[in-house]
């Protein structure tokens, strides 16, 4: 397996028209925006791309469209997660055939299988392709199963194409365990931040970021990534604090719960002049009061003044 380092990975949203169909014209503009604004790789459709609201056919079309739009300018990482093993395997095979550079998967969505079942699920996905394979350790509040370090080490032993783990849990102990032990089994095994908080993972030897906020503040995200890549973590802390303020404003904009962040993210993109439509149900769009409150909060953030407006 060729060693593949994703770098700063942008994770674009999926735009929808008023009839809830995918807006491919806007999606092309989104991809071009990311390519112009610092993406080393693209990963799609990740949770912020509303993968759970897309049919299997829509996911395939979205990936094929993105690969065709990118035209090899950066690697495209295909997100293939599903609760069913055979469905996720089929997505992985399609991704390889479509020309993806790598695949990424969460543990099975929605239910909590025993560890041996999680291992088998991910082994079958990774074994179905020759592409580099990244697994996601999801946030604790997310529907699904977290990955203890012991499980990751089992996967390294069974999957020669397992390239790394994308940690979205922000679990310091997990990261501390998985990096040194993983690299004893596989030199070059990677730890990537599964969000825009790379200071902790970088300080432990990680590299790479899956960035949901890259569509909002690509300059800030790039600056943070570059400082962490140079191991300038003290300087990076202030920027990460700004990222934290932005993240909190987006996540708390909706009524309640993790998925309200999707409505907040699309609302912030609208305030930045990049209207990507509304999220698909069951996620509810922000009402005008909440949208106005979020727009005021974003306008009061001085670190966003240098960010691109419009497309």
Tell me the CATH number at 219: 3.20.20.70
Collapse the DSSP code of 296 into the 3-class scheme (helix H, G, I; strand E, B; otherwise coil) and give the result. helix
Using one digit for the tens of pLDDT, what is the confidence trace for 149-196? 999 999 999 999 999 999 998 889 999 999 999 999 999 999 999 989
Residue 144 scores a pLDDT above 70: no
Is 169 contained in some domain?
Answer: yes
For the stretch 218-228, pLDDT in tens is: 999 999 999 99
Residue 198 within any structural domain of the chain: yes
pLDDT at 260: 57
In the 8-state DSSP scheme, what is residue 278? P
Strand, helix or coil for residue 175: helix
Beta bridge partners of 190: 164
pLDDT at 138 (0 to 100): 87
User: How confident is the model over 110-131, as a mean pLDDT?
Assistant: 92
Output the pLDDT for position 259.
42
- The predicted pLDDT at position 143 comes to 54
pLDDT of amino acid 252:
86
Count how many domains the chain has. Answer: 1
With respect to residue 215, please indicate whether it lies within any of the assigned structural domains: yes
In a domain, residue 301? The reply is no
Full residue range of the structural domain in which residue 204 is found: 8-232
Summarize pLDDT for 7-26 with one digit per residue, the tens: 999 999 999 999 999 999 99
Domain for residue 251, yes or no? no
Backbone angles phi, psi at 209, to 5 degrees: -145, 135
What's the pTM value of the predicted model, to 2 decimals?
0.95
Examine the pLDDT at 35 and tell me if it is beyond 80. Answer: yes
The reply to whether 265 falls in a domain is: no
Query: Would residue 158 count as lying in a domain?
Result: yes
CA torsion through residues 133, 228, 142, 119, sign: positive
Q: Evaluate whether residue 277 is within a structural domain.
A: no
Residue with tokens 């300087």: 235
Contact yes or no for 100/70 (Cβ under 8 A): no
């Amino acid at each position: 397996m060729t060693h593949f380092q994703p770098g700063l990975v942008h994770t674009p949203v999926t735009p929808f028209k008023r009839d809830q169909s995918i807006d491919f014209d806007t999606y092309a503009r989104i991809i071009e925006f990311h390519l112009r604004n610092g993406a080393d790789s693209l990963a799609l459709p990740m949770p912020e791309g509303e993968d759970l609201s897309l049919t299997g056919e829509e996911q395939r079309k979205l990936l094929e469209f993105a690969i065709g739009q990118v035209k090899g300018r950066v690697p495209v990482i295909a997100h293939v997660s599903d609760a069913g093993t055979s469905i996720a395997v089929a997505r992985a095979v399609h991704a390889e055939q479509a020309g993806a550079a790598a695949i990424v998967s969460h543990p099975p969505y929605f239910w909590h299988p025993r560890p041996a079942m999680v291992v088998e699920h991910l082994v079958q996905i990774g074994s179905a392709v020759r592409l580099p394979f990244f697994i996601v350790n999801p946030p604790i509040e997310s529907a699904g199963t977290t990955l203890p370090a012991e499980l990751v080490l089992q996967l390294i032993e069974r999957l020669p194409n397992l390239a790394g783990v994308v940690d979205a849990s922000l679990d310091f102990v997990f990261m501390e365990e998985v990096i040194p032990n993983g690299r004893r089994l596989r030199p070059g095994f990677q730890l990537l931040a599964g969000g825009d908080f790379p200071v902790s993972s970088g300080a432990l030897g990680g590299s790479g970021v899956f960035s949901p906020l890259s569509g909002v503040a690509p300059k800030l995200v790039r600056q943070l990534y570059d400082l962490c890549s140079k191991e300038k973590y003290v300087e990076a802390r202030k920027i990460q604090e700004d990222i934290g303020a932005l993240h909190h404003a987006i996540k708390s904009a909706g009524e309640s719960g993790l998925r309200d962040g999707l409505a907040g993210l699309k609302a912030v993109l609208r305030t930045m002049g990049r209207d990507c439509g509304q999220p698909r149900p069951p996620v509810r769009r922000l009402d005008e009061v909440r949208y106005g409150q979020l727009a005021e909060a974003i306008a009061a953030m001085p670190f966003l003044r240098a960010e691109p407006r419009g497309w």
